Structure 1
């Protein structure tokens, strides 16, 4: 059982360090075609499947230079003399939050999560005495709570199978709390989060749960369903570095060269093109990236674009998915920062790209909503109808943002 009491700001994109280019073309091992980022006329090519030097063998969690540490000269303030009244002249600015990622560099829990390899089944877990003890405890608890009754198998009925699921629970410093083993069938709900601002009410609720179920209170929330919670002096920092690392492993791009952006500026997708042979892989990777947007609003637009072709992806669509993953490779430590705010103001921002889809001429819009300066809601999607002007698409985006705020 885990408790957490506060939430809430987005991060600033960190620029991955530059890698030296070499005069070789990369070839995708799945589709056996050259990388679309490597034009034939160019003498520089991205190497995306070669094993890098020893210093790049594992994904780095070290943040890049923060704006405070940057050696670049400060920009000169320029005041426009144009009579037009702009938002900046009126003192209206979108919040700019610099996420301090330096606390992740020596984080024991995050290091332990990357080093852990959970057993995939009973045979591998049975070789570990601590896992065996966890399985015995699970069976004893199931029998003690009368979880099931042995009955004759009903005729003409399908029997739901079961499997063992193994997890390792950690303390906030990265040390192992205990090994868990669960025998699950179809629906698996194990951990829950209790949050609130009244400690006595939380303690009373946990005490009532203890009387009804066999539960363990794990204290403050540290890791839950792929989300890592780091407590800072000013609030919380949420990240999915471990989950993002798993996407790289699944895609076979753990040693790929990072990309600076998740999507090219002038990228336009169509449904035509050579079909991608492994649609299951495509849907699996896109689905994983969708879950990653829980703490990565910078991926929302790019993931929305590739999600529109799940039914029939092409090679170009798969290349776009790979570019998103390359970007994730260089930004594993990115996440959301939430701070305590003395002024809980609610502010929303919206934007629209008129007729972005060249096939349907429908516009794409996005919004971000801040509560007390903390990013709490965001979205990027295609508008359901065609707008006859850019002004109309902007007003539609504004209306959707207002509806989300209300």
Structure 2
């Protein structure tokens, strides 16, 4: 700042200035000195700027005597100086610089830091799609949505659809009956290229107020497992099948409601006073709504020649003369793929005739998973969801970590001070668990922090924030499904013996590949205390064997029969010897059931038990925190990449 001293008639340049806006600038010297005319001050400052920037000495010899005054610059005092030391000031040198001197420019390549989100490596179409998904605004309340004409029209469209489906009847509330509440949920629907398709407003019932035996009974409805989703995409990548996505409009309205349920009048609907709505259709949010919809869909799709698989009830397969059609259902979203292209078109046409559906084209965005396709394969990521987690955590600085966990960290239940409000902790952990669908690199860290949700502390919250800082630095990472891999399964299993300091239970970790594509992984604490490392490893081997048997059967349902035994790689020779040994002894009596199961599958040639050294044991990634070099080495082997 350039400050004018009216007493000394000088201009002072200083960084530290305090503005007193309630006082006059010339209260001590009187206003008659300048007659309320401060134009000289602006002229003086402009001429000083010319001198400092142009360095022209010819301007210093003007008629105005004020131009000869010294310009004083105050510098911030060094922190090591004493408090009573006199402030140092010096006069600015206004000598002109040499115009012919060339400034040296750096020749280093400028690139964006890794901690910032960059879409430059994506294709233009996928980059536009992701940017469009991130840019849309979605209100959270009715009052907020009612301010925009787009969301008003969306709510009117939803109410019209509910009236056409005869979802309710307007009645008086019978004596002894209770009503349940409702709310609006808003979502922006996008096209396959990421551009705006429509604004979707959905009326949802508050089913958490329902009472069992009064307004609901059976509630279970199967949905597709995420392992099934990854396996289907990996198979389609190898087979070079196109994957299509379809969305059912108001899917739950297709299910009939048998119970007597009354609901409050939703905001925006005009009905007579003291009237309520008796539901006739299964509205979103009701506890029995998913089951009613799935039963209806299962009946319809079975009439078209599809059959539900025993390995995953939400997986439907149909064999035709031209090949196979595979349909996977997750509530009201479905993906369709297979080798029979004409059969897929016919299937989509039949579904659109039965239900009100929307064909979304090729699979690009499914359940929050962003899907990018190239000739090399499919890439699955959750960039948008990861950005939402970072925003929810409140982290605004640029600090990132190289690993999600500190090496050797062993958290206990009583570490730190209990959180006064554990809800944010639980919300973040729940979000991280869903993010691990495409991020196996955070599986063990999320497994650890999820064990303290009943009573989280400041130490546990710090571990969650460390995971989020790691995600912030690797936000673009995801799982890559190669199109050039084989269709053979290979699994790795490992265990951390007594690794939990709270109860000394061991941790099971395994991962299963379909060729080069990682399709299944797990990090789970064992239910019993193991008395030896061999026992812990063998229990992990039994869990991995069950996963292999399930995956082999599911691939068989999809038309892929694996003839060769699946390699189950283990780094514990004692466990391998026990599986191959025909004789039981006292040391294996307490794990006899696991021994029988693993040995039975080994004799049936479902699995093989090759030994792998601990250096190349990929399942080690899911059992304990690792140092940065080891972490990055195994992460590269798992095909977790940032495009």
Work out whether the TM-score is over 0.5: yes
Separation in 2, partners of 1:386, 1:372: 34
Aligned partner of 2:376 among 224, 229, 234: 234
CA contact (8 A) 1:254 1:329 kept: no
- Correspondence 1:235-250 to 2 at 5 A: 235-250=377-392
Per-residue CA distance 1:58-90 (angstroms, 9 max, x = gap)? 973238xxxxxxxxxxxxxxxxxxxxxxxxxxx
- Unaligned segments of structure 2, at least 5 residues: 1-111, 207-283, 291-330, 550-643
Per-residue CA distance 1:240-291 (angstroms, 9 max, x = gap)? 1111111111111143511111001100011113212221111111111111
CA contact (8 A) 2:115 2:398 kept: no
Q: State the partner residue of 1:297.
A: 440
Q: State the partner residue of 2:118.
A: 62
Aligned to 1:217, what secondary structure does the other structure show?
Answer: strand
Aligned partner of 2:121 among 99, 102, 113: 102
CA contact (8 A) 1:61 1:104 kept: no
Q: State the partner residue of 1:207.
A: 349
Per-residue CA distance 1:122-141 (angstroms, 9 max, x = gap)? 22222322222222222222
Separation in 1, partners of 2:346, 2:169: 32
Aligned partner of 1:122 among 142, 150, 160: 142
Aligned partner of 2:534 among 391, 394, 401: 391
Separation in 2, partners of 1:262, 1:312: 21
Structure 1 residue 225 and structure 2 residue 362: aligned?
no
CA contact (8 A) 2:404 2:445 kept: yes
Separation in 2, partners of 1:124, 1:397: 51
Aligned partner of 1:333 among 469, 472, 476: 476
Separation in 1, partners of 2:405, 2:133: 29
Q: State the partner residue of 1:183.
A: 203
Aligned to 2:475, what secondary structure does the other structure show?
Answer: coil
Aligned to 2:530, what secondary structure does the other structure show?
Answer: coil
- Number of equivalences: 314
Separation in 2, partners of 1:386, 1:127: 58
Aligned partner of 2:511 among 336, 346, 368: 368
Aligned to 1:360, what secondary structure does the other structure show?
Answer: coil
CA contact (8 A) 1:342 1:372 kept: yes
The alpha-carbon deviation at position 117 of structure 1 amounts to 2.2
Give the structure with the larger helix fraction: 2
- Unaligned segments of structure 1, at least 5 residues: 1-54, 64-100
Separation in 2, partners of 1:156, 1:341: 65
Q: 1:323/1:256 Cα in 2 relative to 1: closer, same or farther (>3 Å)?
A: same
What do you get for the CA RMSD once the two structures are aligned? 2.4
Per-residue CA distance 1:114-168 (angstroms, 9 max, x = gap)? 2222111222222322222222222222111212222322333332222222221
Q: State the partner residue of 1:275.
A: 418
Q: 1:104/1:161 Cα in 2 relative to 1: closer, same or farther (>3 Å)?
A: farther
Give the structure with the larger strand fraction: 2
Separation in 2, partners of 1:322, 1:332: 14
Q: 1:266/1:59 Cα in 2 relative to 1: closer, same or farther (>3 Å)?
A: closer
Separation in 2, partners of 1:157, 1:104: 57
CA contact (8 A) 2:192 2:361 kept: no
Q: 1:204/1:185 Cα in 2 relative to 1: closer, same or farther (>3 Å)?
A: farther
Aligned to 2:180, what secondary structure does the other structure show?
Answer: coil
- Structure-1-length-normalised TM-score: 0.72
